[in-house]
Structure 1
Amino acid sequence: MNNKAYKNTSVNYAKSQTAVVKLLNSRGIYESRFTNLTDRFALEFRVVENGIERPLAVRIVIPIQYKGEDEKNRTQELNVLHRVLFYHLKSKFVAIDAGVTEFMEEFMSHLVIMDKNGTSSTMGQVLLPQYKKAVESGEQKEFKLLDDGKK
């Protein structure tokens, strides 16, 4: 892990998860969950945004870099990543409250979209590879947000 922020935190990741849920609850967001996998974890939540009829789904996926067997090292990385996530979310909401940005803009890369086959991805997972390819090639192309379902 190259991250130096919070590297010596003694706050257990479960406590940070609780802090994240409380932060979301304070914003009127009550539908949330953490999903833990061996190489990453995700925070997902649904939010009702002003002027939008249906709730927006948000998925933030955080990769876990530690691949070893030492449970203490893995737990410490989880502690660090969850602290970073908490303060990352907190800063996003501060920016929204100050009028620097608005919710959909601030969370755009994490908004969940679904193709015609029912496969869900985030906007970042779909658009960023296309954007990087366009930048590297120097060619402006049309971005495809959703798969047309034809394969």
Structure 2
Amino acid sequence: MSASHTTATARYEGQLRTEATHTASGTTIQTDAPVDNHGRGEAFSPTDLVGTALGTCILTTMAIVAERHQVDLVGASFKMEKTMSPEPPRRIAQLRVELHLPASLGERDRALMERTAHTCPVALSLNPEIKQEIQFVYE
């Protein structure tokens, strides 16, 4: 079993905002409560970060596999849409990730990337009640 260590710390700044710091790099991100939940919506909400984590995990995992197979994914991107549950308790109901990948990928590489996208660690870690929809656009 791997040893655990502190990955991040965070401080509540007031007015429903936090600042989190990545321990190893010192990089910071701010969060803000969304407008529909008493915030100003001026930064990622914590649930936005969950959806963003899914999208970036998919791209990163695909890039790891792509490097292994000499496939160039530079410029690949995603759009993420998050839907909150309309009934209490407040929670994420659906995450939709639209991946934009190079049209130059052949059939074999497309199949490899699509399989990989569904097996990233974040996708496998999310509660199964959260609907994950992944769409692939080749352009």
Q: Same-fold call, TM > 0.5?
A: no
More helix, by proportion: 1
More strand, by proportion: 2
**TM-score of the superposed pair, with normalisation by structure 2:** 0.27
**TM-score of the superposed pair, with normalisation by structure 1:** 0.26
